[in-house]
Structure 1
Amino acid sequence: MIRIHFIVNPISGNGKHNLTASMIRDFFPRSEFDIAIDYTKHKGHAIELAQMAKTQKPDYIIACGGDGTINEVASSLVNSNIKLGIVPVGSGNGLASNLAIPRDMEKAFGIIKKGNVNFIDVGTVNDRYFFSNMGIGIDATIIKHYEHNGKRTLTAYIKAALASSLQYQPRRTMHTYGNQVSSSEPFLLFVSNSNEMGYNMSLTPKASLQDGWLNLFLVPKIPLIQKLVLGYYVLRNQVEKFKYGKHFLIQDLYLEQPDTIFMDVQIDGEFHNFKTNTLKVSIARKGLKVLVP
């Protein structure tokens, strides 16, 4: 008997996914599976539900939602023997896409039922985990606008990106990685564990979840015309053609914004305001077990 605990975000993807308890139970017969189902009620609730689910010692905990819900559930399973399953019913679904987990719910259920497991690396930023990416530049401001808008669509994301590009003011940032110590005013400082950030877009197409490295994409302060050029390349998945962007492979990164008190950060597509002006970013190799095709 395989014990599976589902954690469902009912408003992921604007609440249009129609994932019901009866649908789940119909696909996983009681003769083979012991099923439990919880529903999130607010941001951060999936963390609480996953922690409680762990006490029941299930074989799998399944995150049904977008990258934010997946991050909350997965964060509770780092270095655990419990496997993470994903049913991507969110808007961006960057991590699921990188893992080749389809949006079709029955196909995603089939992957869970099959039970194939792989390890993926886990990024850390201070006391939080990320599985796809994190950033402190324009992307954090975009996510802040995107969440405020309330609509989780590609059109809403593009509108948030355009508004943020006009308003965002880069801040002086010290960054240390490897033997490199430098200072800049980054328009974009993006650290990725995954080769996709959602909506089939990528800033780090060569990133891998299993290579033991994080990919740093750094864009300095640039004029408006170059912001538009960058946006064009991002939408066409040709970001490597952007001449002002620099890619680095890193395992540790220390960031400090000496002229600020707090830092705006996006983590796996969710906005966070850190009550500090320093961040320590690192990677834990093979820190999470995930059900994959």
Structure 2
Amino acid sequence: MIYIHFIVNPISGSGKHNIGKTELEKYFPKDIYKIEVEYSNYKKHAIILTQNAIVNNPDCIVACGGDGTINEVASCLINTKIKLGIIPVGSGNGLASNLSIPKKIEKATEIIRKGKTQFIDVGKINDHYFFSNVGVGIDALIIKKYESYNKRTLISYVRASIASSIQFKPMQTILSFNNQIIKTNAFMLFISNSNEMGYGMSLTPKASLNDGMLDLVIVSKLNFLDKLILGMRVVSNKIEKFKKEQHTLIENINIEMPQKIFTDTQIDGEFHNLKTNKIEVSVIKSGLEVLTE
């Protein structure tokens, strides 16, 4: 008997999905599978549910939601023998897209039944894990504004991006990586493990989930015209043509913001306020086993 534990975010993707035990039993016959279904009802609830599920030693724990839900579930499975499954029903679905996991429940559950896996790298920022990306700079403000809107849609993301580009002020930042120290006024400081942010957009189209490296993108202070050009390059997935971005592969980086006390960040598309002005980011190579196409 194969034991699969599902953790469902009922409001992911505007709550339009109908994922529940009755629906899932259509794809996982009772003579082969034992399935349990639980629902996360608030931020970080999926962490508690996953930790409780691990005690029962399931073969797989499936996150049914967006990148935030996946992050909460997957963070508990690092360096365990329990596989992560994904049914993407969020807004952006960046990690699922990178892993070629489709949105249709029929196809996503088929991948889980086949049982094919791969190990992917995991990023770590201070005491938090990430699987897609983290941002310290304008994208943290974008996510903060995006979360304040009633609907999480592409239009909301664009709206938040425009408002943030007007409001955001670059920060004095000291970066230590690859045996060098860089001082900059960072407009964008983006560190990615995957090749997509969500909504089909990317700042790191060549990033790999299993190369043992993280992709670092640094964009320093920009004038208004450069901000417009950067926005167009991101939307059109042509960031490599934006000449004022610096792209580097790293295994770890130390970030310090001397003028700050706390640091706003986005971690896998969720806003976080870190109670420090010093940040350490590193990669855990092949830290998570994921069911994939």
TM-score band (shorter)? over 0.9
Instruction: Describe how 1:69-148 pairs up with structure 2 within 5 A.
Output: 69-148=69-148
TM-score, length of structure 2 as denominator length: 0.99
Structure 1 partner of 2:153: 153
Gaps of at least 5 residues in structure 1 are none
Equivalent-residue separation in structure 2 for 1:27 and 1:48 (angstroms): 26
2:53 corresponds to which residue?
Answer: 53
**Shift in Å, 1:150:** 2.7
1:25 deviates by 1.2
What is the DSSP-based 3-state SS (H/G/I as helix, E as strand, rest coil) of the residue aligned with 1:147?
helix
CA distance in 2, matches of 1:130, 1:36: 26
CA contact (8 A) 2:58 2:82 kept: yes
Uncovered stretches (5+) of structure 2, i.e. residues with no partner: none
Secondary structure class of the residue paired with 1:205:
coil
Cα deviation per residue 1:84-136 (whole Å; 9 max; x = unaligned)? Answer: 00000000000000000001111000000110011000000001100000010
Distance (whole Å) between structure 2 residues aligned to residue 12 and residue 224 of structure 1: 35
Alpha-carbon distance between aligned partners in 2 of 1:155 and 1:134, rounded to the nearest angstrom: 21
Match of 1:269 in 2: 269
Q: Secondary structure at the match of 1:281?
A: strand
Secondary structure in 1 aligned to 2:122? strand
Aligned to 1:203: 203
> In the TM superposition, what whole-angstrom CA distance separates every residue of 1:159-203 from its partner, at most 9, and x where no partner exists?
000000000011101100011101111110000000000000000
Asked if the contact 2:95/2:194 (under 8 Å) is kept, the reply is: yes
How far off its partner does 1:26 sit? Answer: 1.6
In the aligned structure 2, how far is the partner of 1:138 from the partner of 1:16?
Answer: 30
Q: In structure 1, how many angstroms separate the alpha carbons of the residues matched to 2:206 and 2:87? A: 25
Mapped to 2, the partners of 1:80 and 1:234 lie a distance apart of: 36
Match in the other structure for 1:260: 260
Distance in 1, matches of 2:182 and 2:111, equals 45
Task: Report the 3-state secondary structure (helix = DSSP H, G, I; strand = E; otherwise coil) of the residue aligned with 2:79.
Answer: coil
Runs of 4 or more consecutive aligned structure 1 residues displaced over 3 Å after TM superposition: none
Matched, 1:176 2:195: no
Give 1:16 shift. 0.9
**Residue 20 of structure 1, CA deviation:** 2.4
Displacement after TM superposition at 1:219 (Å): 0.4
- 1:229 aligns with 229
SS of 2:207's equivalent in the other structure is: coil
Secondary structure, counterpart of 1:201 in structure 2: coil
Separation in structure 2 between the aligned mates of residue 232 and residue 260 of structure 1, nearest angstrom: 30
Aligned mates of 2:142, 2:17 — CA distance in 1: 25
- Once the two structures are superposed, residues 37-87 of structure 1 have per-residue CA deviations (whole angstroms, 9 ceiling, x without a partner) of 000000110101000000010000000000000000000000010000000
1:23 equivalent in structure 2: 23
Match of 2:288 in 1: 288
2 CA distance for matches of 1:161 and 1:245? Answer: 18
Compute the displacement of 1:152 (Å): 0.9
CA distance in 1, matches of 2:105, 2:180: 45
Q: How many residues align?
A: 293
CA–CA separation in structure 2 for the residues paired with 1:44 and 1:128: 12
Quote the Cα distance in structure 2 between the aligned partners of 1:107 and 1:152.
24
Match of 2:238 in 1: 238
Superposed CA RMSD in Å reads 0.5
User: Equivalents in 2 of 1:237, 1:231: separation in Å?
Assistant: 10
Structure-2 separation of matches of 1:198 and 1:23: 26
Following the alignment from structure 2 to structure 1, what is the Cα–Cα distance between the partners of residues 3 and 217? 40
Q: Distance in 2 between matches of 1:217 and 1:259?
A: 22
1:154 alignment partner AA: L
Structure 1 counterpart of 2:36: 36
What is the match of residue 279 of structure 1?
Answer: 279
Please state whether the residue corresponding to 1:211 is helix, strand or coil: coil
User: Structure 1 length as normaliser, TM-score?
Assistant: 0.99
The 1-side partners of 2:105 and 2:139 are apart by 29
Q: Secondary structure at the match of 2:221?
A: coil
C-alpha deviation, 1:17, in angstroms: 1.6
Tell me the equivalent position of 1:213: 213
